[in-house]
Amino acid sequence: MARASTANTPLSFVEIVMRADAETIRAALDARVKVDELLLEREQAYQRIAELEGQVEELMGEPGVFVFPAPPLPVAEFGKGKAAPARKPVAPPAAAPSPAAKAASKHPSA
């Protein structure tokens, strides 16, 4: 019986760990290599954009004078990963007794 190809199916972390056959691991590695290549290409593009913006500021003679328009295409925003799971509210710490209350408890009046 022929196995279904994993090259075109999305791989989850659980599938990689639990199935762990050579074909699945190879597909995950290939995907990671491709992602790394794309990230390198993205970094080069950002470097080029920084160079172009530097040239514009040089032409203007002063940094910050020219207001750059928003990018024409949507780009990934920084710090916008998966939302952290909601945490249970932590009870505030009990208020510490005042020094006067401490002194009164050490020397109770008879």
CA 42 to chain centroid: 16
Nearest in space to 68 (alpha carbons), one of 51, 56, 84: 56
Q: Is the pTM of this model over 0.75?
A: no
Helix (H) or strand (E) run with residue 99 in it: helix 99-106
Lookup: tokens for 34: 């491709």
Task: Give residue 37's pLDDT.
Answer: 97
In the chain, count H helices and then E strands: 3, 0
Distance CA 11, CA 3 (A): 16
Of 68 and 36, more confident: 36
Neighbours of 74 (CB within 10 A): 7
Task: Give residue 1's pLDDT.
Answer: 40
What does the pLDDT look like over 26-59, one tens digit per residue? 888 899 999 999 999 999 999 999 999 999 999 9
How many percent of the chain have pLDDT more than 90?
A: 28
Task: Give residue 52's pLDDT.
Answer: 94
Residue 108 has pLDDT above 80, yes or no: no
Distance CA 51, CA 73 (A): 19
Residue 76 has pLDDT above 90, yes or no: no
Contact (CB, 8 A) for 24 and 12 = no
47-53 own/partner pairs: CB under 8 Å, 24+ apart: none
